[in-house]
Structure 1
């Protein structure tokens, strides 16, 4: 009673409670810290250092608890007192810059502030910034930071290399990705982790199709004792189901191995891979439908698993669009409530494409207009299924109404293509004005407006038959 730990201990507890999502306990600790700081009135230096430490840990705790705006309040308190947050605090803020339309710019702004204030980046901060750059396909900038980190004698980890490899893979730079992978595995502190192996498999499955290289990294992964994840199995299935020559027997074997793996659950992405291979690659409509209809009764489908889900449904609609089956699009669209599937922007994109191709641009418009725009500056939520190896990120902090389906930039692209495909240039220009009003990042706006330069544009686009769904 009446006895409090040192500020250093309280600070560590605040950060821990934030990571655990225990906000009430976090704030209780913060209030307790104020009492400790008041008791240090006769030790001004200790009081000042303690105050900065507690504010810094509040940034870390709140950022990890997804209370980013509150974390920035404590950041500003430190800046207003002519101090600087720690590298860990900047890393936490940057890591949790999410759900905005330009995460990378916001993250780099924080990193530049950190450097301008003389804060020395640590490995966590470097890894976080490089990861953000990787996701934004800014491979050159990521490698530049990597060299800067090495010049400052900060030793890279497997996480660093994983992020760099991902950056190179996203821009299709297979040579740099291979070089970095080899360099990573040669490091004395190398600890095999699944992400780089999955990244290399994905590079050679979707970006630069080469089944032999996919299997090389899959076998290397097994050799070093890394267990496959849901995403690994999905990539392995795609390697057999999308790369010519299509090998449906090997794809089915990979799926059967997944079903038999007690450590990994069958997910919508795996069913989608089967449907896409049979429907889009093999052009076997009946088999694609049969797979979809078999899901509820499959042994791997547990009660309340919500399968088939939106990802599976999207794959089926993509088959109908690819094989020009507008009557089936309408038939299965009507079953959405019965199936308990949540509409997403990506399903809507395919419906827009399908109806436009069937000559019904009015219904395509109806689908488009039934969607909503997220608040300005916020990335469209609820459209993405969780990544194969990760749970869905909570979005409660956005206070967005449940059940609303939000347009993605690709939805605007689909509708512009639909209008142009029917010769409705004025309607397409009107859509572009609405896009401009949304204040998307310049790269997004230019990508959408660039469609207007293609006189031969059609709602089908080029190479649609070989495309896979869920392209942002």
Structure 2
């Protein structure tokens, strides 16, 4: 189709083709749109649509349906919504699958209420909801750990005559487990069985993982026994959870026992298995064993991945061994593993914490040069924090401005780091102004934001009115419902000791404010 279209010197020639040929061309264009969308190339799908329009070949409902699905498959929610709206504007009635695609895209993107709005709009358009419209909403709420809402939607599906499948019941069970509500998770296990659905391995694995997250190895093993009693064969996911349970409780030997049992059943350890082992030793500060399991993952699977690499880096960074961390990244690259933004941000942050701003900056620059790496606001925050630690306010603002120009919205940590940079440089007024900018940006300050701003005045030896401004900040944070910690009080008391009010009234105001807050604290 691509070669044929490029051979056409003039779109006008396409317009003069007989109706049957044009109908065949429309089908070809639709296939091209679908093929591009299925490969995840939404831009190419739109390009084919525009070519179709240029040739004055009128699209049909299938054309828009394929564009909607192409956008949904790429999780481009707004584009999927736009094409669905365009379809309606063109006079076509969207089919069930169009609404299914948009609802799924919304829920996968984590915006379940948005998916619910499209669900309701479909009903208003006379579409009868089916299993594929309910499933993404139920799963979306389950992923958020809202078992109650997931259960409500499954019950609604049943009331509407939709027969839920086991995957929907498993989603509700998962939602309750993530919610920490094992009793209701068990009730839905029983309800699934009563509805005629056979419990599958995923049902049991969800419960096993619930106990694994808590480090309750005995309970996890009990549920593993129930898997066998139900005539099912445990898989690598089942044993990964057992290994995780031992890891959470710090039972390193038990981890190895579960791994050995897993291998005796001819179950091959996955990257998740090795990730659990590496992470457990990394958390324990045991670099030698963390590296050993990482190497075994390479030997056993023939490759690593960025998640496993990031976990191993955590061990080296925790031990302050940044040179070995760098060698680890280099070795991974030689093995064909391309570090992602997590790896780069870990290194930026590690050097930032150690006060080595030039090394942090070098890693930041290196990350920006990688076409496959998409940094996030945390990468910029790490650089601003590095500058703040050495009191380099100007360079901190450079990275702040760079984050904004690169399209990132500064968060409370970004602004707080700027307050810290100004405080470290002794620029009390500028620290307070950054606190105001934080509030003006519609972001809620936290206790750290206020404490650093108060500390700037408390430490300053050039402040014209020591104590007064700090009391004002203290009152402001209380009004906003932000309660001070012991560090806040220490700096506030420090500023009080240095304060020399010009009149008795100011002094009484400061003391009365402090006394009132002190009594409230008690």
Give the TM-score normalised by the residue count of structure 1. 0.63
Asked whether the equivalents of residues 435 and 445 of structure 1 are also in contact (C-alpha less than 8 Å), the reply is: no
Matching residue of 2:375: 407
Structure 2 runs not aligned, ≥5 long: 1-26, 46-59, 418-442, 453-522
1:255 aligned residue (226, 241, 259): 259
d(CA) in 2 for partners of 1:137, 1:321? 32
Q: 1:126 deviation in Å? A: 0.5
Asked whether the equivalents of residues 18 and 64 of structure 1 are also in contact (C-alpha less than 8 Å), the reply is: no
Matching residue of 1:93: 102
Matching residue of 1:341: 337
Asked whether the equivalents of residues 189 and 199 of structure 2 are also in contact (C-alpha less than 8 Å), the reply is: no
- Indicate how the Cα distance of structure 1 residues 290 and 159 shifts in structure 2: closer, same or farther if over 3 A, else same: closer
d(CA) in 2 for partners of 1:319, 1:361? 21
Asked whether the equivalents of residues 37 and 70 of structure 2 are also in contact (C-alpha less than 8 Å), the reply is: no
Structure of greater relative contact order (alpha carbons < 8 Å, 6+ residues apart): 1
- Indicate how the Cα distance of structure 1 residues 93 and 356 shifts in structure 2: closer, same or farther if over 3 A, else same: same
Instruction: Report the count of equivalent residues.
Output: 381
Matching residue of 1:80: 89
Q: 1:428 deviation in Å? A: 6.9
Deviations 1:293-352 (A, max 9, x none): 3444x4x33xxx32x332222221111223333342233234343333210122223223
Q: 1:91 deviation in Å? A: 1.7
Asked whether the equivalents of residues 269 and 311 of structure 1 are also in contact (C-alpha less than 8 Å), the reply is: no
Asked whether the equivalents of residues 384 and 414 of structure 2 are also in contact (C-alpha less than 8 Å), the reply is: no
Structure 1 runs not aligned, ≥5 long: 1-9, 28-50, 373-400, 458-472
- Indicate how the Cα distance of structure 1 residues 266 and 73 shifts in structure 2: closer, same or farther if over 3 A, else same: same
Matching residue of 1:316: 312
Q: What secondary structure is seen at the aligned counterpart in 1 of 2:276?
A: helix
- Indicate how the Cα distance of structure 1 residues 210 and 329 shifts in structure 2: closer, same or farther if over 3 A, else same: same
Asked whether the equivalents of residues 321 and 353 of structure 1 are also in contact (C-alpha less than 8 Å), the reply is: no
Asked whether the equivalents of residues 356 and 386 of structure 2 are also in contact (C-alpha less than 8 Å), the reply is: no
Q: 1:99 deviation in Å? A: 8.2
2:166 aligned residue (158, 164, 178): 158
More displaced stretch, 85-94 vs 445-454: 445-454
What's the Cα RMSD here? 4.7
Matching residue of 2:238: 232
- Indicate how the Cα distance of structure 1 residues 285 and 81 shifts in structure 2: closer, same or farther if over 3 A, else same: closer
Deviations 1:260-289 (A, max 9, x none): 555x543322222222223323x3332222
Q: 1:125 deviation in Å? A: 0.8
* Larger relative helix fraction: 2
2:282 aligned residue (257, 267, 279): 279
Query: Is residue 117 from structure 1 mapped to residue 117 from structure 2 by the alignment?
Result: no
d(CA) in 1 for partners of 2:203, 2:387? 41
Matching residue of 1:388: none
Asked whether the equivalents of residues 107 and 132 of structure 1 are also in contact (C-alpha less than 8 Å), the reply is: no
d(CA) in 2 for partners of 1:426, 1:450? 24
Give the TM-score normalised by the residue count of structure 2. 0.58
- Indicate how the Cα distance of structure 1 residues 204 and 85 shifts in structure 2: closer, same or farther if over 3 A, else same: farther
2:203 aligned residue (196, 202, 224): 196
Matching residue of 2:448: 454
2:355 aligned residue (351, 359, 379): 359
Asked whether the equivalents of residues 241 and 248 of structure 1 are also in contact (C-alpha less than 8 Å), the reply is: yes
d(CA) in 2 for partners of 1:183, 1:139? 14
Asked whether the equivalents of residues 326 and 358 of structure 1 are also in contact (C-alpha less than 8 Å), the reply is: no
